[in-house]
Amino acid sequence: MDVGDHFRTILAGWWRILLVAVLVAGVTYGVRKQAPKQYQALGVVEVVSGASLVGFGDTAQTQYVTDTYAAYGKSSSIVTQALLSNNVQADLATAESRLSVDNVALGVLLIKANGPTVHDAVGLAKGVVDALVNGAKNQFAEYLKTDTARLIAERARVNAQLAVLPTGSRDAQLLRVRLDSLQSALSQRAALPTNDVTAIAAGASDGLPISPKPFRDAEFAFIAALLIASELWVWRSARRDRFSTVDESEMMRELGLPVLARVPTGKSGEILEASRTLRTNLMFLSGAAKPRSVAVVSANAEAGKTFVAVQLAEAAATVEDQVVFVDADLRRPSAHEAFGVRRAPGLTAVLQGADVAGALRRVRSGSSLRVLPSGSSTEDPAALLGARAFRSVLDHLRSMRLVVVDTPPVSLFADALGVASQCDATVFVLDMKSSRKRAVRGAIEALRRGGANVIGVVVNHVNSPRTVFDAAVESFPYRPRATGAASMSARS
């Protein structure tokens, strides 16, 4: 299925697709309308590093300090303080799931807090902002206190060691250097600027719920359902367009034609039996003389028409004394390879005036089967095959018991229409794997409009455990055609 068929399929089922999308949107709206409301409050905190306050800070340091406080703002200690200070009715895990603290710009933290009520959202946001600001101050003060106590304890230890050492000793000199270093560190700690964490906004809310938003959700659901339903409709149509059964009554209902043979995917013996079934059906057409010329056609190139045509010709040659295979697929000829004969000279040369008998090739010694290969390539195969020259070829071969003609795919080229309309009967080959009902029906209708006498179908690639295939022995519409030049003139 190409892009055009894809959209045509969607257009064909537009009202069903639209109905599904509307129903999904309606259900989504109803469900979301009943969902509990959620509110949001915002807090903004500005962070300035201590080094920046005295002119020694840089962007990287400010970014690092801000990231540190963002992580600190989501810590359990800060959230717990926020819950207690603002009487928010939520446990720690729930509060943490409703909270986000993000570094949204250099030195700026954005706090978002959600809650089932405006009070809960504002209380959580404000509590986190306050706890973060106070915690930053207390954290720095605690750091100074702890570090200063460590330095003082170290200074006392050094003084105690100096007291027992001779004044001019080397160890005493080293300890005095260490003592000066500790004193300098204490002075630096005392003058160290603190990080400035300031609340810009604490618990701001517009009082409107952020969710649910049933209209928005319904719109998204409608669009999603429209896309999904469209693709499911295409998938369904593609599945329905495949042949799933080779039942005689089903094929008659779908195509109006009987099944002449079923070619399995199994062993060569099963394929041979299917070829004999096809041959038998052509030999014993109910209420009519058997055709002298049979065109083998298909809708698509992968259906296996050439394979079926070759098998039919070989099966017929085992019981008939004069069988000719004509390769009229001048687009992509392959029969000469199947029979192991030269491609040229062949049909194209005969159509341009060469002798038919000189172009016929016997497949093997003792065989009654002769092959007229496609011949050399030509620029306009349709013109050659649709002209009187091809009718003359068939007239020349009227003395043969059976002429099997291979053709190009009907859906791709007009050649098959011209060839099939000049043969007594047409056998349509469809493939269970690659053929599509719509394409097959269109090809059969095109053949009938062009004057071809389609008598039945051969189903290729049938998954069946049977080794003997059913023959289409029931009566089916076959209109015998007059043979000879008079018949050709009547169709010209």
pLDDT in tens, 311-331: 999 998 888 778 999 999 988
Determine what percent of the chain is predicted with pLDDT higher than 90.
35
pLDDT at 386 over 90: no
Average pLDDT of the chain, as a whole number: 83
pLDDT value for 24? 95
pLDDT in tens, 422-439: 999 999 998 887 778 888
Confidence of residue 239 (pLDDT cuts 50, 70, 90): confident
pLDDT value for 256? 85
pLDDT in tens, 327-344: 999 888 888 988 888 988
Nearest of 156, 152, 172 to residue 164 by alpha carbon? 172
pLDDT value for 175? 86
pLDDT in tens, 50-80: 777 766 667 888 888 899 889 999 999 999 9
What domains appear along the chain, each with residue ranges and CATH number? 3-35+213-240 (no CATH), 38-211 (3.30.1890), 248-483 (3.40.50.300)
pLDDT at 2 over 90: no
Confidence of residue 370 (pLDDT cuts 50, 70, 90): very high
pLDDT at 463 over 60: yes
pLDDT value for 492? 26
pLDDT value for 192? 65
pLDDT in tens, 114-153: 999 999 999 999 999 999 998 888 776 776 778 788 888 9
How would you write the chain as a 3-class SS string?
Answer: CCHHHHHHHHHHCHHHHHHHHHHHHHHHHHHHHCCCCEEEEEEEEEEECHHHHCCCCCHHHHHHHHHHHHHHHCCHHHHHHHHHHHCCCCCHHHHHHCEEEEEEECCEEEEEEEECCHHHHHHHHHHHHHHHHHHHHHHHHHHHHHHHHHHHHHHHHHHHHHHCCCCCCHHHHHHHHHHHHHHHHHHHHHHCCCCEEEEEEEEECCCCEEECCHHHHHHHHHHHHHHHHHHHHHHHHHHHCECCCCCHHHHHHHHCCCEEEEEECCCHHHHHHHHHHHHHHHHCCCCCCCCCEEEEEECCHHHCHHHHHHHHHHHHHCCCCCEEEEECCCCCCCHHHHHCCCCCCCHHHHHCCCCHHHHCEECCCCCCEEEECCCCCCCCHHHHHHCHHHHHHHHHCCCCCEEEEECCCCCCCCHHHHHHCCCCEEEEEEECCCCEHHHHHHHHHHHHHCCCCEEEEEEEEECCCCCCCCCCCCCCCCCCCCCCHHHHHHCC
pLDDT at 481 over 80: no
pLDDT in tens, 263-302: 887 667 788 888 888 888 888 765 456 788 999 999 888 8
